[in-house]
Amino acid sequence: MRLIIEKDYKNVSKWTANYIAQAIIKSEPTREKPFVLGLPTGSTPIGTYKELVRLYKHGVISFENIITFNMDEYIGIPQNHPQSYFTFMRENLFSLVDIKKENINIPNGSADDLEAECLAYEEKIKAAGGIDLFLGGIGSDGHIAFNEPGSSLKSRTRIKTLTQDTIIANSRNFGHDLTKVPKTALTVGIQTIMDAKEVIVVVNGYKKALALKNTVEGNVNHMWTCSILQMHPHAIIVSDEEATVEMKIGTVKYFKEIEAGNINPATQLYI
Ligand code: GLP
């Protein structure tokens, strides 16, 4: 696992977007061999999306040959609901870049047969050749996508019941009215994320400090599902200083030193 510690949220977003841009450019995607990108929602990746849009507008990257798979979607609200993840992605990324509509994949939380939808989603990822890079965020309780504490570390795309903590956290987008927050969601599983060739997770702010500590310093444990990243051969966590406050000083120093001595860090900033 690489832990990149940047001074603030802006730099976390910049680093992450440039890393993703570099991965896309390196893979030289074509129509026949597209780059497959896994994507999250939440407030954390918004800065990264802004930077990706900037990179697109400056002609550094194109989304023409990129296929995307989103991590999750609420059940019980229509796609065009202002708080659906479908709407979030359209507003924060898809309407702002040259991605083809047919290359966008988001689990359909309004499908008649939700179980069939989950199976089909996994099949679609497989048919696309697997995910090259999965971008993610972490909930305060350590969930990744909607894999809440206690989720099987071998799980795949399925229906999940949200915890009260997550419902409360996400109620900020529903006028703080808990009754308006969907109680269930479709989510890729932990194993779906682990199958990606690379995983990059963005973390910021004091409220994520305990989750980051458990991700980096804790044991691999289903109560902090993000800790599974320790088992991924190519996982990167990009954090701001604030989110590191629960970790040991020695741990923070250790990862900073490794990155300072990294002869090939992915810190090339295109713009
Ligand atoms: C939701 C999403 C997660 C996201 C988490 C944290 O529960 N399903 O993918 O990582 O929220 O969100 P935020 O970045 O807003 O803190």
One digit per residue, pLDDT tens: the chain, 271 residues?
A: 999 999 999 999 999 999 999 999 999 999 999 999 999 999 999 999 999 999 999 999 999 999 999 999 999 999 999 999 999 999 999 999 999 999 999 999 999 999 999 999 999 999 999 999 999 999 999 999 999 999 999 999 999 999 998 999 999 999 999 999 999 999 999 999 999 999 999 999 999 999 999 999 999 999 999 999 999 999 999 999 999 999 999 999 999 999 988 765 556 678 7
Active site residue 165: no
The residue type found at 227 is S
Helix (H, G, I), strand (E, B) or coil at 206: helix
Strands 184-187 and 72-74, sheet pairing? antiparallel
Question: What number of helices (H) and strands (E) belong to the chain?
Answer: 8, 10
Q: Whose CA is nearest to atom 1 of ligand 1?
A: 42
Query: Quick check: is 148 catalytic?
Result: yes
User: What 3-state class would DSSP assign to 211?
Assistant: helix
Q: 139 C-alpha vs ligand 1 centroid, how far in Å?
A: 5
- Rg (C-alpha) for the chain, rounded Å, is 18
Residue 38 structure tokens:
């896994």
**Pocket lining: 166 vs ligand 1, CB cutoff 6 Å:** yes
Where does the chain show beta strands of DSSP type E? Answer: 2-6, 35-39, 66-70, 72-74, 104-105, 133-137, 158-161, 184-187, 198-203, 235-240
pTM exceeding 0.85: yes
